[in-house]
Structure 1
Amino acid sequence: MKLRIALMIMMAPFVLGINTLSEGYRIPVGGSTRIYVPYVSTQGSCYIIDNNHASSDLFVPTKTSTEWTSFVGASKPAFIVATQCYPKSCKEIKELMGSPADGTYTIDSDGTGANAQYSAYCDMTTDGGGWTRIFRHNVAGGYFASTADAQSKNTGAPTGNLYSQLTKIPDFATNGKYRFRQTWPGYSNKNIWLQSTNPLSDVVVAGWTPIMATAITDKWGGLELGNGTHGPINNNQALLDGSVQISDWWYAIGSTVAYGTPAGIPAASSMLGSNVGVAEVNLWIKEDDTYTTYNSCKAILDAGASIGSGLYTINPGGGGAIPVYCDMTTDGGGWTRILNHNYSDGVFANVAETLSYNSGSPLAGRYSIMGRVAGFYRSGKLELKINWPGSGSAIRNWWTQTSNFTSQPVAGYVAVAIESTSNYWGGLEYNGASNTALADGSANHSNWFYAVGMMAPAGYGTPVGIPACDTVTGAGTIGVPRVELWVK
């Protein structure tokens, strides 16, 4: 064995594929390397190898299980020190092991730091796998005694009803970002997102990027500390919540009291109703700040990456990634909402606002990314849909056109499913010079029915609102409370 190790040292400079798992690793004199290989156990084998030889580099063989096991065995020379270590996360185990099963593994999330290894439950299969569960709360185990109790609880029982390793969150940062997934067993809803702030810190959520999220009501915008000096507090009803910058505590993590009937944990009112608690919530983390950037909701749907209607991040036309609301079910799905205008939230001040307003907040009552519509052209045309929620009418118009309505008169109009032709309907065309709306659907006419991007401060009609059409309102000069514009 000693002769073999010596030969390894001498041959090290000539080994092809050096510093790869398939060949082996070179450790210089006095050097130290952490090596994690897919051998020995169901979660692999991790060692820190120190080369204390006086003059020669060391070659560590990792090509086969036999070589590796022999190398770290008891008969190795004294100048080689092999100290057992542990994988840093479920993600690292998955990347090395290929297709490990869901279950409990031993990890050491701060690597060679001062904290010891611990047991963690890993989801190795859903949403790409490699998720480390850092929090589980099932109300069968009661509630946390306090918000402090919820930060670290039953850390040796990762499948227990009251389990928290939230203090380990900093260990999973990647390029200043945290990747979270929040799930509620028994419900299909889930949220996956990035944020740059540790939710245990007394700061407002920052760097929020929804990757895919279907529980999005109640001012959801990531997770933040529920109490502190950074904003409204939830009166210590939960350690963390996702109702950002309001006193509600939806999306609760670390609930100290029960909520609703039946009693449980507040998730999202869209999932449950306004006074219903869920039995369990899980929070997962993965050290990964990457995501596939699609150019539209349709592209997400076509790629099989949809988890349902909700928030996603896309990059239409290559102008930069933005969060958007996607309708993945209606009229074939794949619709990106580029305008949401509640008249109660005011009107747009000018053309610039109609093109881009609250672009980072796709659930805002006054929201527009119509200035990005050029990025949604397919085969030389736009596929568009307009509807008017809250008007009492389910009417919608669905069509294609070749012209860009943010700057051009209508051209290339082709109906797909038109439910209103009143008031000179004929597609959308630019009307911004009038200071009433960016565009309207009274094609080649001075009327401005089917308006999008309304700028008229006095509104339209009685009751006052946004001009839709006679078919929607049932009569002329009646304003509607809201309009949506979609593109596919």
Structure 2
Amino acid sequence: MKLHNTTASLKAKFTIDEGEGSYDDCKSLFEDGITNSGVYTVNPDGGTPFKVYCDMETHGGGWTVFQRRQDGSVDFYRYWTDYENGFGDLTGEFWLGLSKIHRLTKEGSNTLRVDLGDFDNNTAYANYSTFSVSDGSTEYILTVGGYSGTAGDSLGSYHNGRRFTTRDNDNDLRSGINCAQQWAGAWWYNSCHYSNLNGRYYKASPEYGKGINWRTWTGYDISLKFSEMKTRRNN
């Protein structure tokens, strides 16, 4: 796996409103012969179309990317409304938005892939054959399982079934503490985390557990350089 870890390299890819939202997702685009990675407009459920970044290269292509960290240019320590609606730059660092992730995953069966990289250019990935996010009425509950990969399971084993928590909306299981405030992020915290991919971006000397962490690969003392979360329909 090659890390797309610079904004310039991503902006060199296609940016196009292919079909004006006539495609459900990036897999639909890929199956129609559109194989350049870049920004496209999709409409998974007949609602309002929205733009996404499509990864057409990794592991068979057709991935709809919903999170990327690569350089610390975007502040991820944000509020509920930000995480619900999305923020950042689709060709750089961004969070697509919980409401859009729900729309992408509410029907059928979906796979989640998490690509990770450290500052020594080591890479790892986690693949989950089951993935969906519920709607806002239930605080976007995460359903994830069926792990395979090289990074170890720091998501399904501890965060499956959890509601999303931000600094201003505490839905975790930790009594008396908001895990998002405690660990400077926003996540499907349990009590609190094995992974924290929306934590602070540290280029050196990270605080324990407050960085971009994936416990089963690099523990809590190392904050990662790169993370990318993406989903693809299984059928």
Normalised-by-shorter TM-score class:
0.5 to 0.7
**Which structure dedicates a bigger proportion of its chain to strand?**
1
Tell me how far apart the structure 2 counterparts of residues 450 and 303 of structure 1 sit (CA, whole Å).
Answer: 35
Q: Which amino acid in structure 1 is aligned with residue 8 of structure 2? A: T
Contact 1:466 1:483 survives alignment (8 Å): no
**Which position in structure 1 is the counterpart of 2:103?**
375
**Which position in structure 1 is the counterpart of 2:187?**
439
Tell me how far apart the structure 1 counterparts of residues 77 and 142 of structure 2 sit (CA, whole Å).
Answer: 22
Tell me how far apart the structure 1 counterparts of residues 47 and 197 of structure 2 sit (CA, whole Å).
Answer: 22
**Which position in structure 1 is the counterpart of 2:4?**
none
Aligned-pair Cα RMSD in Å: 3.7
Q: Which amino acid in structure 1 is aligned with residue 206 of structure 2? A: P
Q: Map 1:25-424 to 2 at 5 A.
A: 217=8, 291=20, 293-304=22-33, 306-342=34-70, 343-358=72-87, 361-377=89-105, 380-391=108-119, 392-401=121-130, 403-404=132-133, 407=139, 409-411=141-143, 413-415=145-147, 417-421=148-152
**Residues 462/424 of structure 1: CA separation in 2 closer, same or farther (3 Å cut):** farther
Tell me how far apart the structure 2 counterparts of residues 329 and 323 of structure 1 sit (CA, whole Å).
Answer: 19
Report the TM-score when normalising by structure 2.
Answer: 0.66
Contact 1:399 1:414 survives alignment (8 Å): yes
Deviation of 1:350 after TM superposition, in Å, equals 0.9
Tell me how far apart the structure 2 counterparts of residues 219 and 403 of structure 1 sit (CA, whole Å).
Answer: 26
**Residues 483/450 of structure 1: CA separation in 2 closer, same or farther (3 Å cut):** same
**Residues 423/331 of structure 1: CA separation in 2 closer, same or farther (3 Å cut):** closer
Tell me how far apart the structure 1 counterparts of residues 91 and 164 of structure 2 sit (CA, whole Å).
Answer: 25
Q: Which amino acid in structure 2 is aligned with residue 217 of structure 1? A: A
Q: What are the ranges of 5 or more consecutive residues in structure 1 without an aligned counterpart?
A: 1-215, 221-267, 271-288
Tell me how far apart the structure 2 counterparts of residues 402 and 389 of structure 1 sit (CA, whole Å).
Answer: 22
**Which position in structure 2 is the counterpart of 1:103?**
none
Contact 2:105 2:132 survives alignment (8 Å): no
Tell me how far apart the structure 2 counterparts of residues 340 and 370 of structure 1 sit (CA, whole Å).
Answer: 14
2:178 corresponds to 1:430: no
Q: How many residues end up aligned between the 2 structures?
A: 199
Counterpart of 1:480 (choices 220, 224, 235) is 224
Report the TM-score when normalising by structure 1.
Answer: 0.35
Q: What are the ranges of 5 or more consecutive residues in structure 2 without an aligned counterpart?
A: 1-6, 171-177
Of the two structures, which has the highest relative contact order with CA contacts closer than 8 Å and spacing of 6 or more? 2
**Higher Cα radius of gyration:** 1
1:429-463 C-alpha deviation (Å, 9 max, x unpaired) = 434023514424x7xx5232322444x7x97x942
Tell me how far apart the structure 2 counterparts of residues 446 and 420 of structure 1 sit (CA, whole Å).
Answer: 21
1:119-149 C-alpha deviation (Å, 9 max, x unpaired) = xxxxxxxxxxxxxxxxxxxxxxxxxxxxxxx
Aligned-partner SS, 2:86: coil
Tell me how far apart the structure 1 counterparts of residues 76 and 155 of structure 2 sit (CA, whole Å).
Answer: 24
Aligned-partner SS, 2:128: strand
